[in-house]
Amino acid sequence: MRAIAEAVAPSAEGLPGAEEQVPVGAPMSRFMADLPPEVSRAVRLALRLFERLPFPWRFSRLSLEARQEYLAKMEGARFAPYRDLMLLGKLLAMMGWARDERVQAAAGFEARCAVAEGSPAPRSAPLGSLEPLGDGEECDVAIIGSGAGGAAAAVILAEAGLDVVVLEQGPHVGRHDYPTDPLEALPLLYRDAGMTIATGRPAIPVPVGRAVGGTTVINSGTCFRAPLGVLADWSRSAGVGWATSLDDEYEAAERMLQVTPVDTDLMGRNGQLCMEGARAIGASGGPISRNAGRCVQCSSCPVGCRIDAKRAMHVSYLPRAVAAGARVRAGVEALQVRIEDGRATGVICRAGSATSAVEAAAARNGAHPSLRSWELRARTVISAGGAFGTPELLMRSGVRNRHLGSHLHVHPAAWIGARYEQEVRGWEGIMQSYYVDEWESRRILLEATFTPLSFGGHWLPGVGPELMARIRDYGKIASIGVHLHDRSEGRVGRSANGSLRLSYRLRADETADLQFGIARAAEIHFAAGATEVYPNVGPVQVITRDRLADFEATRLKPADLRLEAFHPMSTARMSSDPGEGVTGADGSVHGVEGLYVCDAGLLPTSVGVNPMMTIIACSAHVARGLAGELC
């Protein structure tokens, strides 16, 4: 790791060098020790392969110049696995290096959150005791997962007078407890410390949250309603008749979360450049609506909102559910739904993991949690662990359905950066601020999205001095995310040792759609004044204005793309036909009484936009129907 970091980020352009001034190998070793065993093994295996790849030489024994030359060849290689391995090494090196305050100061980067002057300070209510009691508890409704779907369901059921317990495997982390160091934040707030990856060509990272509040704690706060055409398709093709009647649920969620369009005067230059470029070429779009009220500065969303301006579930829905009598239990891993005579009667768990950031830090420093068996008995069970957690849990519980874990959609996304002559300082303003929907017919959505240096530096092309020159000018970088409304599918399964196994296969025709979207993002960048664009395509590292047509004419394979994704869904999809889905139109699991799903797994197809509001709306509808049955 040290040898890779030294080559990727040497001292240059006023930036302190990796290992020379900024330790990388030691903190990354500690980070890898925090990874789940199967993830740690995979990363360490990749690093060992890296070491032996220049056979008969060892990578770490090459000179600095030879290492940089070798990495540059890997980055531009036609053989996709070389590029993937290089990108992993570059990601780890940049995470370990760019976290250092000296690096951030030299690049001018600053992470900060703020609301508009004169706005009331964001407030949050307590959640009560999060400690699981004794060896078990009882309730009317057990909800497994505290993210968008589980929290929305908890409010409705608790306010209907039902005794509700919400289980969360991760800890509760408050605004004063969010680590500024990403190597501490990732293991605290993310499943697999953010290293959840769907295998395929290309492999796609799909990070999801694991904390009280779920992924809403670490997402960008973007709030879209599902397109009407998508909802109509669900009604017609999946037999979910109520899908076209969700306006009231959307409106209630928007009020609850203080959803507000971003002020274009205050969104920051990253969003304004996207807006100006889109208008210059006549492309439709608008300011993104967010669940953050009058927030005007957010550059720490991926590691938690430090002022609670973003109304994640742990500061919005969950306090409301607790006020109505619900209980939240943190540090509880749901191992299996207890199913007796075809009916769900509770949840078999393991309790004793960290319930707070303080306890999680103690465990990271060597304190051993006292784990114990724990069971929650319930009249009804709702799985709300997300599109990964729900199929994983139901498979362990013996639920058999050929669609369970299948049909995984993720909205594959490409980060398209660009260099401008003017100062952009994308961290000043809103992280995700402006959308372009001009090419909806091609199933493409563009969103102006700026990424913090620790998570965005590796997307810039080059290694060594070339990369350092771009990092030094990070204040002149703007970026646009290209999102695909995917028909491509993947699968959630379990490996032989019981760990999560993900795969995803990007179709050739949708590779062409993504290439089209990347070209349109580049066109917008150039129209706004960019001098060069970084498409994150293996064979093409930089596009200049005069080479855009050449890029569009290049025939790309799926493995040529460098993608990430943040919206897993559809792995327990609804269908009124038991032969076509895992759940019915009422959210109940086919073949098991008293077992429901309230998360992104329900969604019959890809939504095409950020799905949080649709997860809330669908889960709320399911919960209202369930409340009517139980009360």
Per-domain residue ranges of the chain? 1-107, 124-195+204-221+224-258+305-403+570-631
Say if residues 235 and 244 touch (Cβ distance below 8 Å): yes
Give me Rg for the CA atoms of the chain.
24
What pLDDT is recorded for position 557? 95
- Enter the tokens of residue 513: 């759609």
Q: What is the mean pLDDT of the chain?
A: 95
Of 456, 471, 545, the residue nearest 95 (C-alpha): 456
Dist. CA 484–CA 414, nearest whole Å: 9
Helix (H) or strand (E) holding 466, with range, is helix 465-472
Say what angle helices 247-256 and 612-630 make with each other, to 10 degrees.
110
126-137 per-position pLDDT tens digit: 899 999 999 999
Helix, coil or strand: residue 424: coil
| pLDDT tier at 296, thresholds 50, 70, 90 | confident
Q: 9 Cβ partners below 8 Å, 6+ apart?
A: 15, 17, 18, 22, 24, 93, 94, 97, 467, 468, 471
How far, rounded to the nearest angstrom, does the alpha carbon of residue 381 sit from its chain's CA centroid?
A: 26
- Among 268, 266, 290, 311, smallest CA distance to 175 is for 311
Distances (CA, A) of 313 to 150, 223, 302, 317, 320: 9, 14, 15, 5, 10
380 forms bridges with which residues in the sheet?
Answer: 141
Identify the weakest region by mean pLDDT among 40-44, 432-436, 487-491. Answer: 40-44
* pLDDT surpasses 90 at 252: yes
Per-residue pLDDT tens digits for 36-59: 888 899 899 999 999 999 999 999
Measured CA to CA in angstroms, residue 42 lies from 455, 494, 610, 611 at distances of 20, 16, 30, 30
| pLDDT tens per residue across span 387-405 | 999 999 999 999 999 999 9
Assign 618 a pLDDT band (cuts: 50, 70, 90): very high
User: What is the pLDDT, as a whole number, of residue 218?
Assistant: 96
Cross-strand pairs, 569: 409
Do 585 and 592 form a contact (C-beta atoms < 8 A)? Answer: no
Residue 153 has pLDDT above 80, yes or no: yes
pLDDT at residue 122 greater than cutoff 80: no
**Which of 385, 379, 352 is closest to 164 using CA atoms?**
379
When pLDDT is cut at 50, 70 and 90, the band that residue 118 belongs to is confident
pLDDT tens-place string over residues 195-237: 999 999 999 999 999 999 999 999 999 999 999 999 999 999 9
Distance between CA 160 and CA 94 in Å, rounded? 49
| Position 120 pLDDT exceeds 80 | no
Q: Going by DSSP bridges, is the β-strand pair 372-383/136-144 parallel, antiparallel, or unpaired?
A: parallel
Q: With contact defined as beta carbons under 8 Å apart, do 271 and 429 qualify?
A: yes
pLDDT at residue number 319: 97
Token pair 């619900």 is at which residue? 326
CA–CA gap between residue 160 and residue 33 (Å, rounded): 45
Residue 297 has pLDDT above 90, yes or no: no
Q: Quote the pLDDT of residue 504.
A: 98
Please tell me the CATH superfamily of domain 124-195+204-221+224-258+305-403+570-631, with its number. Answer: FAD/NAD(P)-binding domain (3.50.50.60)
pLDDT digits (tens, 9 = 90+) for 498-550: 889 999 999 999 999 999 999 999 999 999 999 999 999 988 999 999 999 99
Strands (E), 37-183: 113-115, 136-144, 164-167
* Bridge partners, residue 350, by sequence: 333, 373
pLDDT one-digit tens code per residue, 548-607: 999 999 999 999 999 999 999 999 999 999 999 999 999 999 999 999 999 999 999 999
Q: Provide the CB-side half-sphere exposure for 162 (13 A, CA).
A: 27
Catalytic residue selected from 403, 409, 483, 567: 567
The Cα 99–Cα 102 span in angstroms is 9
- 140 within 8 A of 379, measured Cβ to Cβ: yes
Tell me the torsion sign for CA atoms 61, 65, 66, 72: positive
Inter-CA distances, 485 with 151, 237, 444, 569, Å: 26, 17, 6, 12
Tell me the per-residue pLDDT of 344-358, one tens digit each, with 9 for 90 and over.
999 999 999 999 999
403 catalytic per annotation? no
* pLDDT score of 367: 81
3-state DSSP call for residue 484? Answer: strand
pLDDT of residue 298: 83
pLDDT tens-place string over residues 172-200: 999 999 999 999 999 999 999 999 999 99
Q: Under 8 Å CB-to-CB from 595, ≥6 apart: which residues?
A: 337, 339, 343, 344, 380, 381, 382, 383, 399, 588, 589
Token pair listed for 557: 């394979």
Task: Identify the pLDDT of residue 79.
Answer: 87
Beta strands in 314-385 (DSSP E): 327-329, 332-340, 343-351, 372-383
pLDDT of residue 115: 85
Q: What are phi and psi of 152, to 5 degrees?
A: -65, -40
Instruction: Say whether the peptide bond before residue 568 is cis (omega within 30 degrees of 0).
Output: no
Helix, coil or strand: residue 434: strand
The mean pLDDT value for 321-339 works out to: 98
Indicate if the pLDDT at residue 489 is higher than 80.
yes
Torsion of CA 59, 63, 65, 69, to 10 degrees: -30
pLDDT value at residue 368: 80
Name the phi and psi angles at 347, rounded to 5: -135, 125
Number of H helices and number of E strands within the chain? 19, 21
